[in-house]
Amino acid sequence: MVFQDFDKISERRRLEREQKFKKRVTIAVITLFVLLVIIAAGIFVIVSDNTKNSTKQEKKAPQTQESAKQVAHIQRVIKSVCNATTYKETCLSSLKKEVKKNPSAAHPKEILKLAIEATNDEIEKVLDKASSFKFKTPREKAAFDDCIELIENAKQELNDSISHARVDVRKLTKNEPELNNWLSAVMSYQQTCIDGFPEGKLKSDMEKTFKAAKELTSNSLAMVSALTSLLQSFQISKSNRRLLAKEPNSSSMDKDGLPRWISHEDRRMLKGAARADAGKPKPNAVVAKDGSGDFKTIAAALAAMPAKYEGRYVIYVKAGVYDETVTVTKKMVNVTIFGDGSQKTIVTGSKNYADGVQTFRTATFVALGEGFMAQAIGFRNTAGPQKHQAVAVRVQADRTIFLNCRFEGYQDTLYVQAHRQYYRSCVVVGTIDFIFGDASAILQNCLILVRKPVENQQNIVTAQGRIDPHETTGIVLQNCRIEPHKDLVPAKAKVKSYLGRPWKEYSRTIIMESTIEDLIHPDGWLPWEGDKGLKTLYYAEFNNKGPGSKTKARVKWQGYHVISKEEAKKYTVQPFLQGDWITDMGAPVHFGLY
């Protein structure tokens, strides 16, 4: 009985063990199944993500490759263009910074535009930095006030440059002279600002403040030439470039040979000027001291000019001596002022440096508005030789013409400050640096009269202010006469007189086809200070005559040249001033050499 019970218990235990085993197997199978499902799902997700990423990469790959190629191409263009600049490291860092700032705008065609924008950004910073300086004297504060005006002019002309800076074959070739003109003026404005400060720490600080801006402007100028040369590699012939630059078209001229874009008023005036018997053009305003005109002063006539006048605004100034300071502002474009003769209609003043006025502000007459023309008027500064710098006329306006005018002063008579200027059949009278500045200026058929200075002073006709080798500026005297004023004649053997001296490192002056009388020292040219600029200046003479024209005893400086006919042609009206605008304004002009 006992053994029978034991067997029953053993059987029951066996069955229980089997059930437990089956249960474990079932759980294990279910668990394994769940794990397999999870793993499969995971694999699906991973594969799916990889597939999506792979698809995205396939879509992006061509763009990335294309972008990499574009960046590499831009970097090559930047490097190539910067190699042509004077300040290569500044060029590379500024352009890379601009490209990084706006990669979507980075394109080889935009390189020049980016360079000029970098210059504009730096100019913006200059005033902020300079505003923190402490000005201890009225002269320092006056110099800073001049800077504000000059920097505004620089910003305006940089913006003009930016709008013309896209590197398109046709556009760049056409706009190259304008870009060179504007950027050279920007260089001049910056240096004029610095020059206004007295020697000392403040002036040195201003020089440092402008350092980056001047380097960037120089680089922009260099890039204009470099990119133009690059375009030449695409086999654009010189003749095609001239056609692109001028884009002549027979339909652009009317039956009278005048451009069709000229307004009716300008057309009437120019056609009248072309006929000797036509008389004077009808003026918009008449100035007369005796009250017989519309105004008694020139300043009042200019102030009454309509703000948005279209065409050429003509002011006739009757004979008389007008003691006033006159400014043709930048907003007063295409103004003509004519008088009854350069020794009958005279504008006079006496502001001067010795009395505490900045040289920049001493001018009796200032021309800022583009397309200004003066005819048959005299301009004087009567401060005298003891008062040092005393300007009769300061000219900043682009495309400026002076015909049959007279400029009288002593030191710094005629300030050719900036842009393109043409003087025809004028008289310029002075002593020290009396034709000076950093414009592209040609004086043609002019009489240059050197007068008697104070004791122990020397006479210097020109002091050109080019500060950078890439500037397209310079002073050219062509077919002029350089002779002593009547007050110097008795003393000319005692007073040394020279053709010029280098106001700045890259000073450029050319005297050609002119008559030079015996007042000029055999050296011809005078150093400014030590050897400053003697290797980097460009002084040239060509085909001059008269006793003072002999070049055998001239200075032996590296920068002095007696040039060939081919070289002289570069400084004639058309290549140097792009002078079609002179004939468009109705002025007589001689193109080429005589």
Catalytic machinery residues: 433
Tally: H helices and E strands in the chain:
12, 26
The token pair at 15 is 């069955």
Q: How far apart are CA 572 and CA 591, in angstroms?
A: 7
In this structure, the number of other CB atoms found within 10 A of the CB of residue 63 comes to 9
In this structure, the number of other CB atoms found within 10 A of the CB of residue 3 comes to 7
What DSSP line would sit under 206-261, residue for residue? HHHHHHHHHHHHHHHHHHHHHHHHHHHTTT--HHHHHHHHH---GGGB-TTS-BTT
Q: In the Cβ-directed half-sphere of 84, how many Cα atoms lie within 13 Å?
A: 18
**Are 481 and 444 contacting, i.e. CB atoms less than 8 angstroms apart?**
no
Residues 6+ apart with CB under 8 A from 263: 310, 311, 312
Q: How far apart are CA 285 and CA 301, in angstroms?
A: 6
Determine phi and psi for 150, rounding to 5 degrees.
-65, -40
Residues 138-163 as b/e (b if ≥16 CB within 10 A, e otherwise) read ebbebbbebbeebbebbbebbebbbe
Residues 6+ apart with CB under 8 A from 73: 108
Q: If 0-12 CB within 10 Å is exposed, 13-18 middle and 19+ buried, where does residue 292 land?
A: exposed
Sign of the torsion angle spanned by Cα atoms 239, 243, 246, 252: positive
> Residue 324, SS3?
coil
The token pair at 313 is 């605004």
What DSSP line would sit under 376-390, residue for residue? S-EEEE-S-GGG-B-
